[in-house]
Structure 1
Amino acid sequence: MSAVPDLSNLKIDHSDEDALKAANAALKKSKTDQLAQHTRVVCLLKLDRYDDAVRALEEGGDKLKEKAIFEYAYALYKAGEFDKAEAIANNGDERGIRHVLAQTKYRLEKFDAAGKLYSKLAEPSRAAASEESDLRINSSAVDAQLQWKGLGHLVHKKKPTSEDLDAFESAYNAACSCIARDELRKGEVLLRRARDLCNASEELSEEEKKTELLPIAVQQICVFTRQGRYEEASQLSKSIDLKDLSDLSTRHIATVNYLAAGKELANPFLAHRQFHSSEQLPKNDLPFQYQTDILRQNEYVMDLLTFKQPGVARHTNKIIASHPSPSTLSSVNTLSVLNAAATARGETGKAALKLILPLLERRPADVGLLLTVIHLYLLTNNHGSAIELLEKFLANLESSTAPSDADARFAPGLVGTIVSLYNLNGRKPQIRTELAKAAEYWRSKRKPSDTTSSPVPVGLLRAAGTALLESTDPQDLKAAGEIFADLHDHDSSDRASAVGLIAAYAISEPSKLIPELEKSLTDANRVVSDIDAASLEDAGIAQLPAVAPATKEGTKKRSAEETDTKPKRIRASRKPKDFEEGKKMDPERWLPLRDRSNWKPKGKKGKTRAAGLTQGGAVEEEKVKPEATKTITGGGGANKNKKKKGKK
């Protein structure tokens, strides 16, 4: 008989493999030994055998799951079973399991809930003090993901603090937040900061530094590509060895970025092969949804370049049909554009319109398809048809009673499109009307007591207020004041809304101007601090020279003063007979006598004619003696004064 190993005598210096062997040996003798079961689960987790750990917990029964609830939730999380991990972690109150729950919600893309959990974990306590750095890094990662998902209004910390820039992880997360907001230059600076901090770290080995620097470089390639700096992106891509990327999702993203940045891949078939050369990603390392959408779009683009239009049209049709129309999701509308490209089969301009317009008749509520047709109209200089098509589409949405249709009607992208089209035709009143209607709609949807969770398009409200300020109508100025007042109430630190509010009140209601508004503006002394008023005053006002520079050698243009004062020389042939030197000549001497101001008619006939030319006065009709009416009865005398007809 073999001896049963005593697990209580295991020492710290024993390896995880030894502990696992001892636990397995104990379980062979007694399958219900909970200590051995628990030991086996812990050893499997330490050895990164997460699927085996989940299987061991399932075999151990409910008692083991209740005792090892933290290990169970953590094993499910690491195995990619995020929904089950969330359900298990919700039943625990320990600090460790709250960390697992926050990380699980992060992977489930419930970033708002994850952020709230990290905020609670960061509340002052002894445990929070020891986890301060990790909590700050994880919170900054949540903020970055909120920005990527288009929920920037839920981010509490809009700008990174000095503490965030002390660690390369939090600096990298701050850079991602900037990139998500399209602040590419600032994101590039923060990425360089993260790279320098990683290189200067004394806690990481050279191999660990190399591993941490690779994702930073992949993000830099993305920034360079979006900035149009393809040469720099291509050079940085060539410096990365994809085999060094242990994270399979990061490796696949690096491959795609390399293809997007490289210009030398002129053969689309080779690019298509390289795009699909990545290994299948595990469940616990799948990209987030916004990344998946971009990767899927790139895959369809590769298929279009390799003449697989029917397949792209078929696949995109299925995805578009699974979403309700009209949709304001960028992922769905981008697929509509790719579907139109597949339908056009490489045609452009009017030829593409002939193929795509029937598609729009079958899907009249497809926003992405509508914008594609409008773009083609603009490329063919048919602005009128573009405006007419979009106005008809918006009118149909406005007459609908569905709330989703109203959101699509006043979507910032569609409002911006119609405003741009109106601007091309110089239709300023229509621009103000459209922006005012959109601002009124979004303001009505915002709850008065809610300052964070209402996704109101602030940029659209600013544009509406600015456009209304250009009007002279008092009602428009009042509406502009209400818009900027609403923006200022929800974000008093926003200087743009404060400036707009001051501009609106200064014209419409000066009594509402309060000192607090002026304090939010930049001090005037600070604005003009670098201007030397004394030197400007000494320099005087710039004036044109009195004498123009010479045009030819020995000649120069006369000044205006010389031209006015110096008398003109008159030729002798133009002088009248009674000309006297120094005598002022009549300026009307060149006019006919009857057109001169001193002309007076002579005789009865001339006076009568002059009276008839009087403007505004009463004119007496000339008395004409009646004459007997003569009747011409024919004869040769009737045509006496007529001209003779010429020869035919």
Structure 2
Amino acid sequence: MAAPTQSLASLLAQASLDNPEEVLQAADAAIKKSKTDLDAHHARAVALLKLDRFDAAADVFKEVAPLQGKARFEYAYALYKTGEAAKAVEVAEAEGATAGRGVKHVLAQAAYRSENFAHAMNIYRQLAAEGVEDEEYDIRINAGAVDAQLEWFGQGELAQKKKPAREDLDVFETAYNAACASIARGELAQGEVCLKRAVSLCSALEDLSAEEKAAEILPMTVQHVYILAQMGKLAEAEKLAATIPVTEIKELSTRYIAQVNSIAASEEHANPYLAHRLFHSSPKPSKTDQHFSFQTNLIQQDAYVVSLLSQKAPGVASSTEKVISAAPTPNLSPAVNMAAVLNAAAHTRSPTITKTALKEVLPLLEKRPSDVGLLLTVTHLYVLTGNIAAATQLLESFFKRLSQSGSATDLDVRFAPGLVATLITLYAHQGRPGASRAELAKAAEYWRKPHKSKTAAPSKALMVAAGTALLDTQNLENTKAAGEIFKDLYEKDDEDRAAIAGLVAAYSITDPSNLSQDLVSYLPEPSRLISDIDAAALEDAGVPIGSLATTSVSQLTSESRKRPAPKAAPSKAKRLRKARMPKEFDPNKKMDPERWLPMRDRSYYRPKGKKGKKRADGLMQGGAVGEEKEKGSPAPQVQKSGGGGGKKKKGKGKR
């Protein structure tokens, strides 16, 4: 092995370090002499990576298996660049604690591309803590992109920044990331401001050519069209979309989104058949330029809707049925649940589920009772028809079935924050705060307990809502439980104001000794809270005088300076016209208050004669019963009483 190594070294010494083509030729020459020379294969793989021939570099590692362990960094990078991000994460993580900064960078990028954003954020935090000055700019840009993706995927509580900072608006890359994060949070106006700032900064750069500036601004313009459409400014969105040269966008994933947005924002494409042709004429992105899953779901949803508008309901029903049947139930996957909603729309042959479609959708729910997407569709239809009770009962019975199954996966679905929030909203419409608090307490208790098979971390919004609801009960046990919830949130983020406020509120009742100065220091000063309150004006308006601690209730009542309520003026007697007065009417005589009742129902009625007295005795409770009834009449039967009284046959379809 010594001779080939020396030969390769001499060849590389003659080659220029800036010319990977020469390095590749030297490595190929050495490999021809000895195919087992790992150094030559390593040099060849590095040269191919520098030449952006990533597929060829990945093939080198596949053909020479021992090289995978010798050059993990290069192997992970080749996998990442060829679209195998998940495998790249495995290779980079195999380095363990000995991983260098290069491996960490590849690991963070591969985790980002494989949609493991929490892992990517942790790595960027480690890299930022090491404080390498030359990498600070790149780390800040990449961390901002991770924050935006966390917001899009509903994990915003893990993001480092919740609002754009001043330094984020100094460079166009960070300003663009801040715009995307704001859009994901629903802050469209803020997102538009950040986006315009990013375009302005990019246009002012002097070290970029006009072509490079146009390439950077095109994705921002596509994002601006989306903002305008979401804000309801369809005319502006259509006008801006018309200025985008779609065919000049190099990234096929961005070009595809631009094409879809232009169809959605344009009135020219009102013809569904033309829209269907344009939608499917866009080139599909390559393996290395794929959309993120939330983008793929939305694009697939648009494809189904366009097909429904084009009278292709049977095809949509068939394709969505395949997606639903291939996934286990119950399932929280957005793609599966979206397919369930569009499947229901296909069965009703309408792109929008209407109120009259309930009868057609209910049989589907009987066939797929654990389909979360279909369940929510029926729930929504019940709400549209004003039947909140039926919607609530449907969700409650679904939760009960999942709780009784005992499966860890079923319990994750049972306590999914979105489903819990749906039931809480229904309880709020019915005015059932007690049921809301009980449901939130159950969910908080479940997510606080350690469980290996949990598919997601507990939702911060859910935990805060549960803790707040328990505090509102003013019950000591519930307050202690709320304190534990807010304590867990505070340990995860000691600057979370919601957790601090809840912890102080709970400890002030259960255990004031635990209130440290750090917690109390976050509370605003009392003078700041009462700065806009005029005590003299309140007292003049009727505030009781005296100390509440030493004054009794009777004293407060007697000493109160509240103005009494004005006495109502005595109502005048209504004057009757003579035409409405009966004959022989005496206005001085008091009228009988029971004059509207039949004579036999009046309190002073006394029947006359033997038959009348006998009838009155039979009507009185405890009265005498005639002997002829005791002997000849059958005994009365006692009817069964229930919660709903007597049964009544209901009409078909009525509830």
TM-score (norm 1): 0.71
Shift of 1:248: 0.8
Q: 1:227 aligns with which of 224, 231, 235?
A: 231
Q: 1:476 to 1:136 in 2, by over 3 A?
A: closer
Question: 5 Å matches for 1:209-220?
Answer: 209-220=213-224
The structure that has the greater radius of gyration is 1
Q: Does 1:248 align with 2:244?
A: no
Does structure 2 retain, via aligned residues, the 8 Å contact 1:86–1:101?
A: yes
Which residue pairs with 1:74 in the alignment? Answer: 77
Does structure 2 retain, via aligned residues, the 8 Å contact 1:73–1:89?
A: yes
Shift of 1:24: 9.3
Shift of 1:221: 2.3
Which residue pairs with 1:408 in the alignment? Answer: 413
Question: 5 Å matches for 1:466-477?
Answer: 466-471=468-473
Q: Does 1:237 align with 2:241?
A: yes
- Greater shift in the superposed pair: 255-264 or 289-298: 255-264
Question: 5 Å matches for 1:3-402?
Answer: 8-11=13-16, 19=22, 44-55=48-59, 61=64, 70-83=73-86, 85-86=88-89, 88-90=91-93, 93-124=99-130, 128-346=132-350, 349=354, 351-402=356-407
Does structure 1 retain, via aligned residues, the 8 Å contact 2:345–2:353?
A: no
Does structure 1 retain, via aligned residues, the 8 Å contact 2:48–2:54?
A: yes
Q: Does 1:425 align with 2:427?
A: no
User: 1:69, 1:482 → 2: CA distance?
Assistant: 44
Matched position secondary structure for 1:325: coil
Q: 1:454 to 1:512 in 2, by over 3 A?
A: farther
Q: 1:335 to 1:167 in 2, by over 3 A?
A: same
Q: 1:266 to 1:524 in 2, by over 3 A?
A: farther
Q: 1:454 to 1:287 in 2, by over 3 A?
A: closer
Higher relative contact order (CA closer than 8 Å, sequence separation 6+): 1
Does structure 1 retain, via aligned residues, the 8 Å contact 2:24–2:43?
A: no
User: 2:510, 2:111 → 1: CA distance?
Assistant: 50
CA-to-aligned-CA distance 1:312-361 (integer Å, 9 cap, x gap)? 11221222222222222333222211111111112854642222111101
Q: 1:381 to 1:532 in 2, by over 3 A?
A: closer
Identical amino acids, percent of aligned pairs: 49
Does structure 2 retain, via aligned residues, the 8 Å contact 1:383–1:421?
A: yes
User: 1:114, 1:11 → 2: CA distance?
Assistant: 36
- AA of the residue aligned to 1:406: L
Shift of 1:400: 2.3
Does structure 2 retain, via aligned residues, the 8 Å contact 1:20–1:44?
A: no
Q: 1:522 to 1:135 in 2, by over 3 A?
A: same
Which residue pairs with 1:574 in the alignment? Answer: none
User: 1:152, 1:300 → 2: CA distance?
Assistant: 29
Does structure 2 retain, via aligned residues, the 8 Å contact 1:349–1:380?
A: no
CA-to-aligned-CA distance 1:496-520 (integer Å, 9 cap, x gap)? 3444555567778888777655532
RMSD: 4.2
- Greater shift in the superposed pair: 516-525 or 299-308: 516-525
Does structure 1 retain, via aligned residues, the 8 Å contact 2:188–2:231?
A: yes
User: 1:240, 1:463 → 2: CA distance?
Assistant: 44
Matched position secondary structure for 2:130: coil
Does structure 2 retain, via aligned residues, the 8 Å contact 1:79–1:284?
A: yes
Does structure 1 retain, via aligned residues, the 8 Å contact 2:297–2:334?
A: no
Q: 1:131 to 1:470 in 2, by over 3 A?
A: closer
CA-to-aligned-CA distance 1:37-71 (integer Å, 9 cap, x gap)? 76765554444333344446666x46776776654
The aligned length equals: 540
Shift of 1:241: 1.0
Q: 1:384 to 1:143 in 2, by over 3 A?
A: closer
Shift of 1:170: 2.1
Does structure 2 retain, via aligned residues, the 8 Å contact 1:412–1:460?
A: yes
Which residue pairs with 2:495 in the alignment? Answer: 493
Q: 1:88 to 1:498 in 2, by over 3 A?
A: closer
Does structure 2 retain, via aligned residues, the 8 Å contact 1:221–1:237?
A: yes
Structure 2 unaligned spans of 5+: 1-9, 543-564, 573-586, 593-603, 605-655
Structure 1 unaligned spans of 5+: 448-452, 543-559, 569-589, 596-608, 610-648
Which residue pairs with 1:580 in the alignment? Answer: none
Q: 1:416 to 1:58 in 2, by over 3 A?
A: closer
User: 1:91, 1:470 → 2: CA distance?
Assistant: 49
Which residue pairs with 1:460 in the alignment? Answer: 462
User: 1:404, 1:430 → 2: CA distance?
Assistant: 24
Which residue pairs with 1:546 in the alignment? Answer: none
